[in-house]
A = this chain, B = another copy of it.
Amino acid sequence: PGSLKLAVIPGDGIGQEVTAEALKVLEVAAPAGVKFEPTRYDLGAERYLATGEVLPDGVLEEIRAHDAILLGAVGGKPGDPNLPPGLLERGLLLRLRFELDHYVNLRPARIFPGVTSPLADPGDVDFVVVREGTEGPYTGNGGAIRVGTPAETATEVSITTAFGVERVVRDAFARAERRPRKKLTLIHKTNVLTYGGAVWSRIVKEVGAEHPDVTVDYLHIDAATIFMTTDPSRFDVIVTDNLFGDIITDLAAAVTGGIGLAASGNVNPDRTTPSMFEPVHGSAPDIAGQQKADPTAAILSAALLLDHLGHHASAATIEEAVIADLAGRAGAEPRRTAAVGDAIAARVAG
């Protein structure tokens, strides 16, 4: 303690604006005696377009020497001819997740009081998705031949290992143990992706045997999207692979009041590398620079960061401030990004 080294990567579009607010709140929330030392890294579309650099190895090594990473959003203007699709996602965001072995991609979903869900009757929703972060079809394994011709053939390989599944499943069970309902739902597509699915099923069964007090169930990803809209309160802890986790967490965010509120942590539970915290939303180039973005997801991600670093009380203070702010939003005029950050920071300051 004393000083916490924070790598700050605002990234692209609204990432810049929301990160500024998260930092603002983080500073006032820091526990007595703890000081954040932020170092800003200007990675993202702008740097790439100016220099051709995405994530230089030296920068990655510098980032590695921090206690945690706060990230805004990554991704340029869709269709920008100078930005090959996926280049920033693969080269920056996913590279960080993979190189820093962020195998737990943690995404809480909760309908806060006063927040409107698009569902007519969502019930009491409070669950957390533990998305695997280092395998599945996200590894970059794949290729294409005869590119651009009528004979083009492309492949992507989804990789699932017992090693990778076991560590994330253990984390998910540990979380389920700490929650009152103690329920864990595996989401996969074991009837079609039978090879990877068998690994998930077996390991959930094996680790589940060590947790007899945790109730375990299974849903195919397609059926899970149905329950997410008809009965989301059934979920407590969800554990799932990288791709299904990507999909179900955006849906969960929508159902719990929107992507403007959805926080996430890319966590290395072994603490051998800095974990990275970021809103689930993207860079939203269409509204960038207009102070229209909702910084709440970034601010809640900062709370996850504090929690991860062991500052549970400070994390709770941010969450309470956000809950209080949200309660006042219904019917009110939309505020500028900075005004939302100011209001939440003021509540945290007390």
Contact = CB atoms under 8 A, between A and B. Distances in A.
Contacts of A152: 161-162, 199, 202
Contacts of A154: 159-161, 195-196, 198-199
A343 interface: no
B198 A144 contact: yes
Contacts of A161: 151-154
Nearest to A146: B162
Given A148-B202, A161-B154, A246-B222, A90 B194 contact: yes
A129 B166 CA distance: 36
Interface stretch (A51-59, A185-193, A322-330): A185-193
A126 interface: no
A119 to B, nearest CB: 5
B160 A85 contact: no
Contacts of A158: 137, 142, 155-158
Interface in A225-263: 225-226, 228-230, 243, 246-251, 253-255, 258-259
A138 interface: yes
Contacts of A147: 198
A94 B194 CA distance: 13
Nearest to A161: B153
22 contacts: A85-B197, A86-B191, A86-B194, A86-B197, A89-B192, A143-B195, A146-B162, A148-B202, A149-B162, A150-B166, A156-B157, A156-B158, A156-B160, A156-B193, A156-B195, A157-B158, A189-B246, A222-B246, A225-B254, A226-B250, A229-B229, A229-B251
Interface of A: 75, 78, 84-86, 89-90, 94, 117-121, 137-138, 142-144, 146-163, 166, 189-199, 201-202, 218, 221-223, 225-226, 228-230, 243, 246-251, 253-255, 258-259, 282
The list of the 7 closest CB pairs from A to B, nearest first, reads A154-B195, A222-B250, A225-B251, A152-B162, A86-B194, A226-B254, A120-B120
